[in-house]
Amino acid sequence: MYVGLTTAGRSAKFSLQATAASVLQSGSRNTGFPDNSRDGYSTLLCYFNSLKELGGAIVQMLDDVPDAISLYARNRSERRREILDPKELTSRVSQRQIIEILGELKRTNLDPDCVDVVLATNMVSVGVDVPRLGLMVVNGQPKTRSEYIQSTSRVGRSSFPGLVVSVLNAAKPRDRSHYETFPAWHQAIYRDVEATSVTPFASRSRDRALSAILVSMIRHTDPNLATSPNFDNANTDLLRKIIKEIERRVASIDPRESQETVNELNELLNNWFDRKPTVYLNQYQPEKSLLQYAEDYAKKIAAGRLPGSAWPVMNTMRSLEPSSRFRMKEYLNFKKNNSENVGEEELIPRWRKKDA
């Protein structure tokens, strides 16, 4: 069920705070609903279109929302709900922390450590499959219809219906238009989903995923190679069948990339056979390992070290590019005199220098 709210007459921050507080208090243990019916609505998933908006919401969830919960509880003659600090699912969180948070989301409302609030960006659109989630607040209309469908489909994946509350900013023309046509737009939500540009077998896509696809298909198909990458035990007929299936798939989708894909498959298999690795993945024995994490590979390159011969592979479907750290240095403006000799150094950056 989709519910649309407008911020007309109130600020966007106040509307989000009031909405979050109301649904959180309604999902508490003191509202009279049985635990098995309330579990899906005891964890609030909040979606934001940008990290800037999410950053402001963190402060609200720590300060303003608990105060609003107290107000609602008093008005409804209910016991106030105590909420834990919010969890965050964004690109600022490491892969290890994301996995831990997804595990914590499976805790039911009977667990004292049950997650109360999760703040997320579009990272939640793919890969978050927690059946018990049933409550979501969308802060502002997402940029595309497909993103809206993907993100809101994270809730209501179990036997109970999902509730999506869209808080639409009346100061933004696009949000206001969606609020004014809310019922009709949702009744035809799948009519005009945006077309996406997909190049699954382009060279850069093959760099990221072809090796992982090859290893996955071999391990799942040939029992002899399920636990050990020893090519001496490989079933040649099964190996030929796997390679032909990959080549057939490429030819049916993008024939222009067929020959390059065939060449890269041959290089990968020859490298596998010549190296004779003893384990599929062991970060402590990189020379004996067939694979290594793409993040570790990128860190070695950034540090000026040799990355080794193990193939870099993504460890989740959410990984697109390895992250890199950078530091912005301020440019120093040097003023020259008429004789073209270097004069007095002006250590103030030119974009901070006051006009004369």
Fold topology of 2-187: Rossmann fold (3.40.50)
pLDDT in tens, the chain (356 residues): 999 999 999 999 999 999 999 999 998 887 777 777 788 899 999 999 988 889 889 999 999 999 999 999 999 888 999 999 999 998 888 878 888 998 999 898 888 889 999 999 988 887 788 888 999 999 999 988 989 998 999 998 888 889 999 999 999 999 999 999 999 999 998 888 887 666 788 888 888 889 999 999 999 999 999 999 998 888 989 999 999 999 999 999 889 999 999 999 999 999 999 999 999 998 888 788 999 988 888 888 878 888 888 999 887 655 555 556 667 776 655 554 444 554 444 555 555 566 55
pLDDT at 331: 61
The pLDDT of residue 342 is: 46
Question: Residue 339 has what pLDDT?
Answer: 47
Q: Would you give the distance in Å from CA 147 to the centre of its chain?
A: 12
What residues form DSSP beta bridges with 139? 48, 167
Residues 169, 163: contact at Cβ < 8 Å?
A: no
One-letter amino acid of 212: A
HEC readout, the chain: CEEEEECCCCCHHHHHHHHHHHHHHHCCHHHCCCHHHHHHHCCEEEEECCHHHHHHHHHHHHCHHHHHHHHHHHHCCCCCCCCCCCEEECCCCCHHHHHHHHHHCCCCCCCCCCCCEEEECHHHHCCCCCCCCCEEEEECCCCCHHHHHHHHCCCCCCCCCCEEEEEECCCCHHHHHHHHCHHHHHHCCCCCCCCCCCCCCCHHHHHHHHHHHHHHHHHHHCHHHCCCCCHHHCCHHHHHHHHHHHHHHHHHHCHHHHHHHHHHHHHHHHHHHHHCCCEEECCCCCCCEEEEEHHHHHHHHHCCCCCCCCEEECCCCCCCCCCCCCCCCCCCEEEECCCCCEEEEECCCHHHCCCC
Contact 293, 312 (CB under 8 A): yes
pTM over 0.85: no
- Map out the domains of the chain as residue ranges: 2-187, 203-313
pLDDT for the residue numbered 354: 61
Per the DSSP assignment, residues forming a β-bridge with 48 are: 139
User: What pLDDT is stored for residue 86 in this prediction?
Assistant: 93
